[in-house]
Amino acid sequence: MGSLRLWLAVLAGLSGVTAQEDLYRKVFVFRTDPSDAYVVLRAKLEQPLLNFTVCLRSYTDLTRPHSLFSYATKAQDNEILLFKPKPTEYRFYVGGKSVTFRVPESRGDWEHVCASWESATGIAEFWLNGKPWPRKGLQRGYAVGAEAMIMLGQEQDAFGGGFDVYNSFTGELADVHLWDTGLSPDKMRAAYQSLRLPPALLAWRSLSYETKGDVVVKPRLREVLGR
């Protein structure tokens, strides 16, 4: 089994190879700035999403705008988008509409973010490093399409493409999850602390993905807050 895991790790580090593995204590490294690299995530979505939560960690020294998580359908390129237009701001899109959350500027460390949304109330939640920000209203009554292309590292301005390299991500990404439900406050904090989490559509410990361009899987060099 040890040799099999090693072979899978080698495959995961090669661009264009589809893999499914446990990425515990590993990261995607997007090495160039600006970058045309991205990672396609595979999720089994059987019906439109009326609730969801997306979480991830990022580590970057970028000050320009960059995309963190892009979920596009043929009808709407910004069906779900986590975007950071500047160091003190996150923008959260659902169905092409967005809300903004202003945050302290990073001190050169990992940032863990979670964003959740529920259709019935239109409530959007945003959590940074295990702490909630004031909730906002977004797209009440909307349904997120199920036939989606999900990417890390690029913002899709068309289904599966339309990239602007000056909105690309450069740095390290880890601990990516997507649930088809809103997480409770306890689970939001558990995600930050990398504790036991409920089954997910996308889970870092069993992630199905394909790398494209100059992005590699590497061990994490340092511990993150909450670990």
Over residues 39-68, the pLDDT tens digits come to 999 998 999 999 999 999 999 999 999 999
Instruction: Evaluate whether residue 15 is within a structural domain.
Output: no
Name the nearest CA neighbour of 185 among 138, 135, 110, 140: 135
Instruction: Evaluate whether residue 196 is within a structural domain.
Output: yes
Give the CATH number of the domain where residue 138 resides: 2.60.120.200
Instruction: Evaluate whether residue 4 is within a structural domain.
Output: no
pTM over 0.85: yes
DSSP three-state, residue 116? strand
Maximum distance among all Cα pairs of the chain, rounded to whole angstroms = 50
| Structural domain that includes position 49 | 21-219
Instruction: Evaluate whether residue 2 is within a structural domain.
Output: no
Within 10 A of 140 (CB to CB), how many other CB atoms are there? 12
Instruction: Evaluate whether residue 10 is within a structural domain.
Output: no
Instruction: Evaluate whether residue 6 is within a structural domain.
Output: no
Check pLDDT > 70 for residue 75.
yes
Instruction: Evaluate whether residue 105 is within a structural domain.
Output: yes
| Count of the separate structural domains present in the chain | 1
